[in-house]
Amino acid sequence: MRFIPVTCGEQDEMLDSVGVPSIDGLYEDIPVGARLARPLDLPGAMGEIELAAHIEKLAAANEDGSRMVSFLGGGCYDHYVPAIVDSVVSKPAFFTAYTPYQPEVSQGTLQAIYEYQSMICQLTGMEVSNASMYDGATALAEAALMAARVTKRHRVVVSATVHPEWRETLATYVESGTLEVVEVAAKDGVSDGAAIAAALDDATAALLIASPSFYGTLEDLRSLGEAAHEVGALFVVATDPVLLGVLEPPASYGADIVVGEGQSLGNAISFGGPGLGVFACRKAHIRQMPGRVAGRTTDVDGRTGFVLTFSTREQHIRREKATSNICSNHSLNALAAGVYLAAMGADGLAGIGRASVAKAHYLEGALVATGRFERVFDAPFAAEFTLRYRGEATAMQARLRESGYLAGLDLGRFSADDAGLVMFAVTERHTRAVLDRFVEEVSAL
C-alpha cells in the first residue's frame, strides 16, 4: 500500500514486540456488537495512473470558467490569481503544517498570518484582524454573537440586502435562541434607512449591513452607522475586500466590526469553498473577538518573532466560556490572500477595482441599451449590478448557455420577490471584446 512505508516483514516484527499475533488482536477492546464483521462496501484501490484518469473524467464533466464566459458572482468572483500565489501556497512547509502551536518551528505561518492581519487592517481601516474564519457567512454570524458579548444585548438588526445565504447562516447560528434577529426588508435594492432606524432600539446589539450589498449596490453607510451608534449598537459592515482598493474603507463610516468573503483575494472559486472569512474589529474589543490572532514579540535572544496571542479567548483554554468554538480556520486561504495583496500592491489592487468597476458600468450600459434589460435600482454600484430581464430569465439563460455564457445570476432562486431580476458580476478578466460579443448575443435573442 503506497501510503504505508512499513513493510510486511516489519509489521510482523512490530506485532511481535507488542505481543499480539495479528492486528485483529489490537481491537479486542471493541465489543463484538460494535465490530464490523464484513469488508467496507467501497470500490477497490486504484493506482495513480487509473486514479488520475478517473478524476480527470469527473473534472471534464463540468463546464468551468476556462470553457464558459461567466457573469456569476453572488460572493464568489473570478478575479485573476497571479501565478506566484499558487507557487507559495503549494510549498509543503506551508500546506502540510498545522496550527502554529509550537512557534519556534512555525515562524513562517505566524509571520504570514501577522502580515495578512496587517493587510486586512490596512484595507478595512480597522485596528485588529483575526487569522481568518471559515467564510463570509460564518464571519457575519460570529460578528453578531460578538456584538452581543460586547454590548451585553441580545438582539441584532440585519438588512435584507445582506446575502441571503449569510442571513440564513446567521439564523441557523442563533436558532437556539441565543440572539433575536430582526430582518428589515430592502427598498429599491438598498437598505431601508427609515425602517432600520425604526427597528433599532436600546436593546439592539448590532446593525448588520453589507456594502456592496447582495444586489451589488453601495449602501449609505454613513447614516446607517450613525443610526446604529445612536442606540449604542455596534455597526457591523460586510464588504468585498478585493474592492477596497477603490472603495472607502468601512472604518471611515464608523464600522465596529468588518467582515467579508475573502475568496477573491487570490483563492480559486472552487465551487464555493474553501474561501476565506475576513474578520476585523477595533482593538478595544480584541478580547471578545472569535478566532486566532498572531502577535509580534521577541524571543529569549531578543530576536523578533511571532506567536498566537490572546488565546485565553479560545476554546482550548476557555472551553464553554470561549468566544467561539472555532479551532481549525482557513489559514492557507489567508496565506493566499496575503501573497495576493503583496503581489498586487495598492496600485495593483486599485487597478483591479478600477477595471472591474469600469467594465461593469460598460456592460450595464450596453445591456440596458439592447432593450432586453431594464434598470431597477437607482443606487450606485461597483462591479456587480442587477437588472430586470424583459422576458423569461430562465429561458434567456438557457439560450445563452448554448453559446457559452453563464448569463448572470437569476435572483428568483433566492426569493420569489426578486423573480425576473438578473445579477451580473464583472471582473478585470472580462475583455471588451468578450463583453461586446455577449451584448450582441443578448441583442439577437
Ligand X SMILES: Cc1ncc(COP(=O)(O)O)c(C=O)c1O
Window contacting other proteins (CB under 8 A); options: 150-158, 194-202, 331-339, 368-376: 331-339
Asked if 191 interacts with other proteins (CB under 8 A), we say: no
Comparing C-alpha atoms, which of 120, 436, 426, 442 is closest to residue 294? 120
Instruction: Name the minimum Å distance from CB 192 to other proteins.
Output: 17
Instruction: Give whichever of 212 and 291 is closer to ligand X, judged by the CB atom.
Output: 291
- Taking each helix axis from N to C terminus, what angle separates 432-443 and 331-369, rounded to the nearest 10 degrees? 50
Asked if 418 interacts with other proteins (CB under 8 A), we say: no
Residue 157 cell numbers, joined: 438588526
| Helix/strand/coil for 289 | coil
Asked if 403 interacts with other proteins (CB under 8 A), we say: no
Catalog residues that contact ligand X under the rule CB under 6 A: 327-328
Q: Judged by CB under 8 A, which of 292, 337, 377, 439 binds other proteins?
A: 292
Q: How far apart are CA 241 and CA 249, in angstroms?
A: 9
By the 8 A CB rule, do 156 and 204 touch?
A: yes
Residues 145-174 that bind other proteins (CB under 8 A): 145, 163, 165-166, 168-169, 171-173
Instruction: Give whichever of 292 and 359 is closer to ligand X, judged by the CB atom.
Output: 292
Window contacting other proteins (CB under 8 A); options: 23-31, 149-157, 199-207, 230-238: 23-31
**DSSP-assigned beta bridge partners for residue 405:** 69
Residues 269-288 that bind other proteins (CB under 8 A): 269-275, 283, 286
Q: Which does 21 bind (CB under 5 to 8 A by kind): other proteins, ligand X, none?
A: none
Q: Judged by CB under 8 A, which of 196, 209, 255, 409 binds other proteins?
A: 409
Comparing C-alpha atoms, which of 364, 392, 390 is closest to residue 377? 364
User: Which amino acid is located at 244 in the chain?
Assistant: L
Instruction: Give whichever of 327 and 346 is closer to ligand X, judged by the CB atom.
Output: 327
Give the x-and-dash track for 86-125 against other proteins (CB under 8 A): xxx-xxxxxxxxxxxxxxxxxxxx-xx-xx-xxx-xxx--
Residues comprising the chain, all counted:
445
Q: Which does 105 bind (CB under 5 to 8 A by kind): other proteins, ligand X, none?
A: other proteins
Residues 293-322 that bind other proteins (CB under 8 A): 293-301, 303-307, 309-310, 314-322
Cα 195 to the center of its chain, rounded Å: 29
Q: Which does 268 bind (CB under 5 to 8 A by kind): ligand X, other proteins, none?
A: other proteins
**DSSP-assigned beta bridge partners for residue 157:** 182, 207
Instruction: Give whichever of 133 and 231 is closer to other proteins, judged by the CB atom.
Output: 133
Q: How far apart are CA 219 and CA 223, in angstroms?
A: 9
Antiparallel, parallel or unpaired: β 421-425 and 409-410:
antiparallel
Instruction: Name the minimum Å distance from CB 327 to ligand X.
Output: 3
By the 8 A CB rule, do 73 and 243 touch?
A: no
Q: Report angle CA 359, 239, 310 to the nearest 5 degrees.
A: 145
Instruction: Give whichever of 15 and 182 is closer to other proteins, judged by the CB atom.
Output: 15
Give the x-and-dash track for 37-66 against other proteins (CB under 8 A): --xxxxxxxx-x--xx-xxxxxxxxxxxxx
Antiparallel, parallel or unpaired: β 186-187 and 190-191:
antiparallel
Instruction: Give whichever of 52 and 444 is closer to other proteins, judged by the CB atom.
Output: 52
Residues 229-258 that bind other proteins (CB under 8 A): 244-249, 252
Q: How far apart are CA 33 and CA 230, in angstroms?
A: 63
Residue entry with cell 479486542: 28
